[in-house]
Amino acid sequence: MGGWKRYGMRLLAHVPMAGLGGLFVFPFYWLFISAFKDRDQIFKLPPEFLPDPWILENFARVFRETHVIGAFVNSVVIAGGHVAFALFLCSLAGYAFAKFPRAPGRDKLFAFVLATMMIPGAVLLIPVFAVLCKLHAVNTYWAMIVPGAASAFGIFWMRQYASENVHNDLLDAARIDGCSEFQIYWRVVVPILKPALAALGIVLVIGIWNNLMWAFIVLRTESMYTLPLVIYLLQGEQRIPFELIMAGSVVATLPLLVAFLAFQKNFIEGITAGSIKG
Amino acid sequence: MGRGLCRRVWAHRHFYVFISPFFILFGVFGLYPLVFSFYLSFTQWDGLTEVTWVGLGNFRNLVHDELFLASLWNTLVIGVLYIPPMFLGAFVFALALNTGWLKLRGIFRAAFFMPCVTPMVVVAIVFSLIYSEDSGLLNYALGKVGEIFPPLRIEPIAWLTSDRWFKPAVALLLVWRWTGYNMVLMLAGLQGISTEYYEAARIDGAGVFQRMWHITLPLMRPVFVFCAIMSLIGTVYMFDEIFVMTQGGLGGPGVSGINFGLYLFNTSFADFKFGYASSMAYTLSFFVFLASLLILRLRKSET
Amino acid sequence: MFLCFDRLRCWVWAVLVVTLGVCLWAWGEPLVLDPPTAPGDLDADIEVWAWNIAAGSLEHLTPMFNEIYPRCRVRVNMNGTNVQSRFLLSLAAGVGAPDVMQLQVRETPRYSMTGKLTDLTEVAKKYEHDFPPSFWQDCMHDGRVYGIPWDIGPGGIFYKRSIFEACGVDPESIVTWDDYVSAGVTIMKKSGGKTKMLCLPRGMLVELFEPLLQQSGGQIFDKEGRLAINSKESLQVLRVMRRMLEMGIGANINFWTHEFLASLKSRAVATYVAGAWFGGTIRDDAPTTSGDWGVIRLPEIEPGGLRTSNFGGSTLVIPDQCKNKEAAWRFIEFALCTKEAQIEQFRAFELYPALLSTHSDPFFDEPEPFYGGQKTRRQFSLDIDKIPTMYRTSNWVETERYINQTFSRWVNDRMKDPEGMLAQLEEKLSRRLGCGISPGSLSLGGRD
């Protein structure tokens, strides 16, 4: 008897969970259907939970009239460049810290790297902008790709992973074979680091793809804008085109969302791996 | 001695080459800006004309600047409003996802975490639609509830335009946004607790609450500390949400909505008071640093 | 930390010198067209940033411009989000600023002072006397001209005839602000509280405060840039605003929001205290209300006082980084300094021309069906030359923002003790902006 009761209660517990889950998903649902509605329909009360009719024109218009396509390309280039650059830099340094124990000053240098994690980004906004101005690098892809790439957190993570998973015998064997140090890194170490690279890469991608503030500061012409920036600026157009904003938002959100749903495990691992060990 | 060192350095030259990109980048985009910013906090500079030295003037103005103090207060209130429910929600969801009998765990996890992969711009825009006073869904839903249960009837709430409700509206958005993230972290923490502890406790006759109190909570301490520090830093420097929802970064009605992150941004890139902004950033970073140390102490103190 | 202090100081000086050098080097050369390019030969692409109907009117003018300069292509960018931030960031970065920029009259001095605008004195000084003196002053800095006045906003009260008729209010009876408030109370009563007299957003009170202050001859800063806001004129204006708020005739709707624009078409709000350009907004967003509008002259603050003031207005400037300065100048010259273009903008978009020579055009005396046959253009042109100059500083916008926030809090505190509030406001602003207080201020026991 107790068994059935417990089973019933457990089943019942699913209801509030489902309700809450539904609440969490609801804004996405609302965003998605609003992208298919007319501007007045978006604001209509009582609300239409299913667009009637389904208007595809918003997407056509957003591609035609706004810079969403160009911004998508920019976002991809910047995200790809940033992640590639940061992964390269962090894995290289992390491997070095892990596998060169007798280099003079290694520990002190690593402590220095860790210390830099404590620097709050807020303090750096203005001076980094001023530096970029002087280097005439404002409004370039580099302005988005480079500044955040020196990630001490990434180095810490890579070092951790490398020291656990890269075995010295492999390295020694490769050295005997006559590989240069860089070749060893590229051919031997990187493949081993792949899971950690994937996880770190995901964390970085989420940050850079969604970034608004720095994009607003350093991207100065329309041709360079990223997706979040274009969406944000749409709010300032004449007679705010809500239907275009909704359509554009769907375009901005979909890539990461789809990637997340497909690679949930890697995303979660990316978020948690760094924190638990830290 | 020196020559021995040189030889050893040369022997390990690849090490230095491999770590140099980080240090070069850090030098240009980390160290130099850090020092430059420190210098700027003692000056007045509008970014376009010349730099003028003002000594401690900025810091003195900071103390009297009620907008600054108001922004700190707003930040605190928002933090107090959203962090406890978020922590509670995250922990409860993590517990739920950790139990053996919950079906469709993957779907729940996805649902709660989805808000974390969305650009804040999009989140803020969607929520500002929902929060609209006369055409927003929230007020509509509340109105319907009021119709069904007359005692719960209330006036439509001006979520984003009234002093009273702006911060709760932001807090609600933040709860939605961050619960999933913290849930995932806590879930990982829970999964790290060996079931042997629970077995032993059950054999000893400990009830559900006692198991929670004596096993779960203490062992989750590192995760809680990590989440707490992340939340603290996130709350203080939070920017996107209010920037987007108040079109033009006005920060809500009157001074009720400006939080620190937005005020810092406005001072830097709307008023272009680089010197003052730097002093503000340094001052607050210092306090955040102290607060983080304090929270970390909680982790150190073992029972 | 890592360096000894002396090395740090050397480094700091090096940075300072470099920055100074860059800035000095960046200070522009005045624009000289010698020899000027023939209109048919001027080949360039220029980008213009403007917003609202002003942007629309520039677009409208482009074909006319192209008849004279066929190879100058003009692109008007109308996005208004964070324009000030975006413009400043582009000025600082040296890239991304438009060739021609619209600026509000009140912030033009701020930008002139940065040295990042093109010095237009050589090409523009011949037009000095074609514009009202107070507006020309706003375009100048240190004796050099950096912008051209575009439109001005002589003030008035736009009212909905149907509401006034329904509530039995005679527009002619509104002569003083007290009359205005009484009319507002009447309308509220007759409409059962549904119709408010005006939009008075608690968080944007400076939008009404400033024009009324100018109307009464008050100042926020004095000629030397010291604070003069604590004055009897300010108290007068505050008294008027307090009455409006106490009587409840102001709707708490923020300007330019969705709700604000919707109120143009509904019965929620009866009047709008605004500049002449507001007519263009009404036409644009509520064209179906044509014929229902009328304009009353701005009510007096004191008996026999001035019945107009300035509500905004814009100028056009050329950022220094512009690569097509001659084309940009030709565009500005065409749009703002020729009678034809200014009249056309007025005709099509109700942008009240700053160019004085236009005011004698018969267009100003035509009755307008949109306003029920009233001749508003002539009405707006009365006494423009009597509008007192407002002294502006480079931190005008920040000052306004601060005043807004202070007033908002004052309203929350039930508007008690306006004298104390003003005194405190002045003192706080003085400290915040690092400027002194004018000897004429009430805080320093100035004139009574």
The CA angle A90-A95-A98, to the nearest 5 degrees, is 125
Inter-chain CB proximity B270 and C82 less than 8 Å = yes
Residue percentage of chain C with pLDDT more than 90: 49
Please name the residue of chain A whose CA is at the shortest distance from the CA of residue C83.
Answer: A236
Domain boundaries, chain A: 2-57, 59-277
From the candidate CATH numbers 3.40.190.10, 3.30.930.10, 3.40.630.30, 3.40.50.300, the one assigned to the domain spanning C201-248+389-448: 3.40.190.10
Residue closest to C240 by CA, chosen among C253, C250, C230: C250
Mind listing the pLDDT tens digit for each residue in B51-68? Answer: 889 888 899 889 988 889
Reported pTM = 0.84
**pLDDT for the residue C423:** 92
Average pLDDT over residues A79-94: 94
pLDDT score of C434 more than 70: yes
pLDDT score of C20 more than 50: no
Please name the residue of chain A whose CA is at the shortest distance from the CA of residue C93.
Answer: A133
Contact C295, C376 (CB under 8 A): yes
Average pLDDT over residues C30-57: 86
Inter-chain CB proximity C93 and A133 less than 8 Å = yes
pLDDT interval class at A271 (50, 70, 90): confident
Mind listing the pLDDT tens digit for each residue in C236-253? Answer: 999 999 999 999 999 888
- Please classify residue C1 by burial: count the beta carbons closer than 10 Å to its beta carbon, then call 0-12 exposed, 13-18 middle and 19+ buried: exposed
Q: Which of B101, B277, B288 lies at the smallest CB-CB distance from A10?
A: B101
* Residue A114 tokens, joined: 């860790």
pLDDT interval class at C16 (50, 70, 90): very low
Contact C78, C106 (CB under 8 A): no
Mind listing the pLDDT tens digit for each residue in B4-45? Answer: 888 888 888 888 899 999 999 999 999 999 999 999 999 989
Residues of C in contact with A238 (CB under 8 A): 52, 55-56, 78, 80
Q: Which of B134, B255, B269 lies at the smallest CB-CB distance from C89?
A: B269
pLDDT interval class at A274 (50, 70, 90): low
Output Rg (C-alpha) for chain C, integer angstroms.
23
Residue closest to A251 by CA, chosen among A73, A77, A68: A68
Q: Does domain C29-152+313-363 have CATH number 3.40.190.10?
A: yes
**pLDDT for the residue C23:** 43
Best interface-test mutation with A: which of C52, C83, C89, C254 has the largest number of A CBs within 10 A?
C89
Average pLDDT over residues B48-53: 85
Residues of A in contact with B222 (CB under 8 A): 276
| DSSP state, residue C157 | E
pLDDT interval class at C17 (50, 70, 90): very low
Q: Is the CB of residue A118 less than 8 Å away from at least one CB of chain C?
A: no
What are the CA-CA distances from residue C186 to residues A215, C172, C189, C262, C298 (Å)? 52, 15, 5, 23, 19
**pLDDT for the residue C13:** 46
Inter-chain CB proximity A228 and B108 less than 8 Å = no
Q: How close A74 gets to chain B, by Cα (Å)?
A: 15
Mind listing the pLDDT tens digit for each residue in B244-299? Answer: 887 655 666 667 778 898 899 988 988 889 999 999 999 999 998 888 888 888 76
Which amino acid is residue C112, in one-letter code?
Answer: S
**Mean pLDDT for chain B?**
85
Q: How close C51 gets to chain A, by Cα (Å)?
A: 8
Residue percentage of chain C with pLDDT more than 70: 93
**pLDDT for the residue A178:** 85
pLDDT interval class at C28 (50, 70, 90): low
Contact A126, B278 (CB under 8 A): yes
**Mean pLDDT for chain A?**
87
Average pLDDT over residues C125-150: 89
pLDDT score of C30 more than 90: no
Q: Tell me the DSSP string of C6-71.
A: HHHHHHHHHHHHHHHHHHHHHSPPBP--SSPPPGGG--EEEEEE--HHHHHHHHHHHHHHHHHSTT
Average pLDDT over residues C323-340: 93
3-state helix, strand, coil in chain C (%, to 5): 50, 15, 35
CA dist B164 and B168 (Å) reads: 8
At the top level of CATH, the class of A59-277 is: mainly alpha
CA dist A242 and A219 (Å) reads: 24
Mind listing the pLDDT tens digit for each residue in C55-112? Answer: 889 999 999 999 999 999 999 988 878 888 899 999 999 999 999 999 988 889 889 9
Domains and CATH numbers, chain B: 60-300 (1.10.3720.10)
Domain boundaries, chain C: 29-152+313-363, 201-248+389-448
**pLDDT for the residue A141:** 95
Contact A274, A153 (CB under 8 A): yes
**pLDDT for the residue C288:** 92
**pLDDT for the residue C4:** 37
Average pLDDT over residues B212-227: 84
pLDDT score of A278 more than 60: no
pLDDT score of C19 more than 60: no
Q: Which of B89-103, C90-104, C326-340 has the weakest average pLDDT?
A: B89-103
Mind listing the pLDDT tens digit for each residue in A6-27? Answer: 778 777 878 888 889 899 999 9
Residue percentage of chain A with pLDDT more than 70: 97
Best interface-test mutation with C: which of B26, B41, B48 has the largest number of C CBs within 10 A?
B48
Q: Is the CB of residue A140 less than 8 Å away from at least one CB of chain C?
A: no
What are the CA-CA distances from residue B32 to residues A111, B43, B253, B267, C417 (Å)? 19, 17, 38, 21, 50
CA dist C443 and C427 (Å) reads: 9
Inter-chain CB proximity B117 and A256 less than 8 Å = yes
Name the 3-class secondary structure at B190. Answer: helix
Inter-chain CB proximity A150 and B25 less than 8 Å = yes
**Mean pLDDT for chain C?**
87
